[in-house]
Structure 1
Amino acid sequence: MTGTGVYWMGPVYDMGGYGNVSRNYLRALESAGIPVCIHPIGGEHHAEIGSETRRWLDSLSTDRLGPRIVCVKHGTPDFFEQPVAAPPAVKTVGVTLFETDRLPIGWAELCNRMDEIWVPTRFNYATFSQSGVIPSKLRIVPYPIDVTKYYPGKPYNRIVFQPPLRSFSFLYVFGFDFRKGIDLLLQSFCDEFSPYEDVSLVLKVYIHSGYSPAFVMSEICSHIPAHRLQSQIVVIVEPFDEERLSDLYLSCDAYVSTDRAGWGMPAMEMMALGKPAIGLNWGGYTEFMNESNSFLIEPEPHLVPVDDKLQRDRPHYYGNHYWADIRPEKVRAAMREAYANKSKRERIGKKAAFDIHFEFSPEAIGQTIKRLIEQS
């Protein structure tokens, strides 16, 4: 017998990565014709997701799920155990990921109490199974993207900065966290490009997890020479809704990330728009980025311990966690090539848009989810 509907528990009103992923999975369920009841987790509606998205979430949710309900819990595994009311289910699924070479202490046991665990990448299939999650419980379900919002040639309103951006601009969009590699990116940019070159770096920062805007700005600006701040390196902390974020993507020329990403949704969104992206050839990015559709930053052969600040700030990363060793010269080389090689930028941007639209649309991922629901 097949599952007849999904009870989705996740941070659907959050503007951060988990919220974006939850909403995109819901679009995949919608495209597959699977009824879904939405149980929001994580507090109040986040203003940045916009009124149109909130109306869509309200209209999508239904209590008519049929007799065989699949309960999906989207978040970190410690959420899987929280006593939250949910209807009886024929199968309970946890949806999660992690960025390092292993799982935090206790996560494998929590995952093994679920009937299935959905992870977005082959990288996480390996790290979860090597950390003790029963392989037969693991399923790879990549993150989809709403390709009706991100496509080449999309009309937009160019964002004008004061002073204006230079003729070529890199963009990095991230929620502030010590795993995002902002110190590495800023060092690499400042070392590679002189203050007199016709190139800008734009940082769009989401502030969450208890950080204050003053702390975030102080931390970021500590890595930026004063004469480059706002003249060549622009830091944006004010809220952007989805449409304004799309305008920002289209107002810049290339995306760059030094995040040891579990996935990297902003890079994916930029690629869907036909823009070239730079990312690490390690971890979650390798699920959708390759030499034909991206500029890749090659890691060193051996892994290194995660950042000390991250270990102090986030208990999940404490202990013997390792991740890619990324050298500034490799970041510099990738940025220089993207800046200097226009023909390659154009070729990569076209291939990126094709790959994302063909392989990661809600329709494509919806069929993967439908097959899993039908096995319930």
Structure 2
Amino acid sequence: MRRGRWDMVVCHATPDVWHRDGAFGWGKVEPCPPAGTALSIGRAMYESDRLPESWVSRINAMDEVWVPSRFAVTQFINSGIHPGKIVVVPEAVDTELFDPSVHEPLEVDLGSSSLFRFLSVFKWEKRKGWDILLRAYFQEFTAADDVVLIIKTQSFHSGDNFESKVKQEIQKAQELSQGKPPRLKLLAKDLKLKELPGLYRSADAFVLPSRGEGWGRPHVEAMSMGLPVIATNWSGSTEFLADGVSLPLRIEGLEPVEEGVKGHQWAVPSETHLRELMRWLLDHRAQAVALGEAARRHMLDNFSPDAVIEKHVVPLLRRKTGGTRASSSEL
């Protein structure tokens, strides 16, 4: 900062609130970028195949926009963002907090210690694919299988009686089972950040057949905790999903987003492939452990804070400062 001017400001919020005429009605968002900023950078992502139209002019008015994935580069360009403004800077995961070697499993009463424990963490909205997950799980498994699905969720504009509504959807899906339904544990309560590593530690695998992600924070948290991850191979999550470190879930194509954003599309995750992947993990527990270990290494090598700084931020700042910054230790 020089003489009241910021050299560089990164605005990490929905672009609707960028610039002096932004929609500041949320009450907690300061105007960004501040007046007199020398280099204005936006940080943005979106979950469908394109951006909201209201974002485009605001993003193009910035000097740069940082996006977390190569998927987003194509998405932004196709939406009308100037290609020269787009820079890929992946999200980082706190690999020290989400470290399986320093956490004990969160106590979750499952009735048996021998069960293979699938975990899914998400807010309860259609985009997260909870309907796909429930159908696949209850059609693939029965109570005879040594398996349980743990769902950690919370309300997303769902109104009153949230937990009872979730239980009703679970009961509907249970009717799809070919016999007595398999076990399911619902955690519809808030957990503190410090409790999340223990939740992941209590699981054997993570699964989330989302229809679209800007990034996928629970995915990388689970991978950092050494869990094998089944997740949709589309949208922002493709930046870190790959064979050998995860189980990418195929899609059958795209379909219109039903509400909220006219003209947008998102993925149709394959329920058949999801069933196959979940069954494979249950039947190949040793390989599941090895896959989780590879996922942890992948996070350490590529998406830890140090890795993101060294591989993306430092080279970026070197270009902007003429090479005067030599290493991440100067940041």
TM-score under structure 1 length normalisation: 0.74
**8 A Cα contact 1:281 1:296, kept in partner:** yes
Aligned to 1:110: 58
Q: Determine if the alignment matches structure 1 residue 261 to structure 2 residue 213.
A: yes
CA distance in 1, matches of 2:181, 2:160: 17
CA spacing shift, 1:162–1:75, aligned 2, 3 Å: same
Matches within 5 A, 1:208-223: 208=156, 210-212=157-159, 214-215=161-162, 217-219=164-166, 221-223=168-170
Amino acid at match of 1:372: L
CA distance in 2, matches of 1:135, 1:156: 46
Aligned to 2:262: 319
Q: Determine if the alignment matches structure 1 residue 168 to structure 2 residue 122.
A: no
CA spacing shift, 1:213–1:344, aligned 2, 3 Å: farther
**8 A Cα contact 1:93 1:116, kept in partner:** yes
CA distance in 1, matches of 2:315, 2:35: 22
CA distance in 2, matches of 1:249, 1:223: 22
Amino acid at match of 1:113: A
Amino acid at match of 1:71: V
Runs of 4+ in 1 over 6 A off after TM superposition: 226-231
Deviations 1:251-280 (A, max 9, x none): 111000011222111111111121111111
CA distance in 1, matches of 2:105, 2:269: 35
Deviation at 1:181, TM superposition (A): 0.4
2:143 corresponds to which of 183, 192, 195: 195
Aligned to 1:291: 243
Aligned to 1:74: 12
Name which structure has the greater RCO, CA cutoff 8 Å, separation 6+: 1
CA distance in 2, matches of 1:196, 1:246: 29
Deviation at 1:192, TM superposition (A): 0.3
Query: Aligned-residue CA RMSD in angstroms?
Result: 2.6
SS at match of 1:142: coil
TM-score under structure 2 length normalisation: 0.84
Deviation at 1:245, TM superposition (A): 1.3
Alignment length (residue pairs) = 304
CA spacing shift, 1:334–1:213, aligned 2, 3 Å: farther
Identity %: 30
**8 A Cα contact 1:274 1:349, kept in partner:** yes
CA spacing shift, 1:104–1:291, aligned 2, 3 Å: same
Amino acid at match of 2:17: F
Unaligned runs of 5+ in 1: 6-64
Unaligned runs of 5+ in 2: 25-29, 322-331
Aligned to 1:26: none
CA distance in 2, matches of 1:283, 1:89: 32
Matches within 5 A, 1:261-280: 261-280=213-232
1:247 corresponds to which of 180, 198, 201: 198
SS at match of 1:325: strand
Aligned to 1:185: 133
Aligned to 1:47: none
Aligned to 2:38: 90
CA spacing shift, 1:326–1:230, aligned 2, 3 Å: closer
